[in-house]
A and B are shown apart, each in its own frame.
Chain A
Amino acid sequence: MPGGIYECLSLIAERITANKDYLTELDREIGDSDHGINMARGFSAVMEKLTPEDSDIGAALKKAGMTLLSKVGGASGPLYGTAYMEAGKITAGKTELTPSDMKAIFDAAIAGIQKRGKAVKGEKTMLDAIIPAAEAFSAKIAGGADMVTALEAACESAREGVEYTKTIIATKGRASYLGERSIGHQDPGATSAMITLEAIRDFYRGA
């Protein structure tokens, strides 16, 4: 694994920033055209707060979460912010993660997003990418797979989840005002969740 939590969060920030216009364009179709702008602003603030000396995964995730709560501005702020903070609570003091730690992070993040957003799977939200990803990850590690293999399966399921969001009606968030007109469009939050997971996968691949 090349580096620690600082490098992993740097890669997430880099990917979110690289996809800023793409995420905003998806949000223009069914939302308020700010998802990419908000996420890029949030992650640039996260990287200003962190240094390569931040090696405690729990502390770094908590710092990232608090920054996202404050700097993103839109609904993805409290949602991702809570997810990172909940993940941080269960990884305090750790400097590396086992696959079962990563499963616990998935579970904590999902519980945090559900607590905050009161959404379930199938409502055209980030959960439609993250929940199938977590299920695929758990199934792989239960079969003895290593971190990279399990993350690869998770990303595949996240991508399928993003595709699935094109087929369903939004019932949460700004897109819910569009009703049936939201069909055919992929959810920006599910997309940023997939981008995050792919960054984590690539971090573990050493890419």
Chain B
Amino acid sequence: MVGIVIVSHSWKIAEGVCDLAREMAQGFEGLIPAGGLEDGSTGTDAQRIADAIAEADSGDGVVILADIGSAIMSAESAIELLEDEGREINAVIADAPIVEGAVCAVVEAAGGGTVDSVLKAAEESRETGKL
């Protein structure tokens, strides 16, 4: 099953997005938060994200959703850290909002989707209007 990692500057946001998205797919275990720094302060930590990617991966790859600013650069660094360690994980970053994207991605992943289809589901959430 495809794993999903939620990257946010805030630990609370990352955890909260995971809580919300999990309601859409009870028992889905491949959804892992990577929020804030180790000491609880706000920011993004490439090593923490790399650990989350490794935890989320069950062999079928991982889709990453990230919030603002340094989150994308830290997620890219995390993927390179894993490559440098020789870990072969198909990890991709979605160009998507993290709340809507996570909900759509979890539904697709829990339904047996591939990395490509989960990525597409997350990115398509961008186009869903609210009004």
Q: Name which residue of chain B comes closest to A69, CB basis.
A: B46
- Complex CA gap A77/B70 in Å reads 8
Question: In the complex, are the beta carbons of B73 and A79 less than 8 A apart?
Answer: yes
Question: In the complex, are the beta carbons of B73 and A117 less than 8 A apart?
Answer: yes
Question: In the complex, are the beta carbons of A38 and B77 less than 8 A apart?
Answer: no
- Complex CA gap A51/B73 in Å reads 29
Taking residues whose C-beta sits less than 8 angstroms from the other chain, chain B's interface range is 10 to 19
- Complex CA gap A66/B41 in Å reads 18
Main secondary structure of the interface of A (DSSP, over half): helix
Question: In the complex, are the beta carbons of B43 and A81 less than 8 A apart?
Answer: no
Question: In the complex, are the beta carbons of A82 and B70 less than 8 A apart?
Answer: no
Q: Which of B32-73 contact A (CB under 8 A)?
A: 37-38, 41-48, 69-70, 73
* Residues of A contacting B76 in the complex (Cβ-Cβ under 8 angstroms): 78, 116
Q: Determine whether A74 belongs to the interface, using a CB cutoff of 8 Å to chain B.
A: yes
- Complex CA gap A74/B77 in Å reads 13
Question: In the complex, are the beta carbons of A69 and B81 less than 8 A apart?
Answer: yes
Question: In the complex, are the beta carbons of B69 and A116 less than 8 A apart?
Answer: no
Q: Assuming the A-B contacts A69-B74, A73-B37, A116-B76, are A78 and B69 also in contact, with contact meaning beta carbons closer than 8 angstroms in the complex?
A: no
- Complex CA gap A173/B71 in Å reads 12
Q: Which of B1-51 contact A (CB under 8 A)?
A: 9, 37-38, 41-48
Question: In the complex, are the beta carbons of B47 and A70 less than 8 A apart?
Answer: yes
Q: Determine whether A75 belongs to the interface, using a CB cutoff of 8 Å to chain B.
A: yes
Contacting residue for A81 out of B38, B41, B77, CB 8 A: B77
- Other A-B pairs, 5, CB within 8 Å; known A75-B70, A81-B46: A38-B43, A72-B43, A73-B44, A78-B74, A79-B73
**Interface of A toward B, CB cutoff 8 Å:** 32, 38, 66, 69-75, 77-79, 81-82, 116-117, 173-174
* 16 A–B contacts, CB within 8 A, in A order: A32-B69, A38-B43, A69-B45, A69-B47, A69-B77, A70-B47, A71-B38, A73-B9, A73-B42, A75-B70, A75-B73, A77-B45, A77-B46, A77-B70, A77-B74, A116-B76
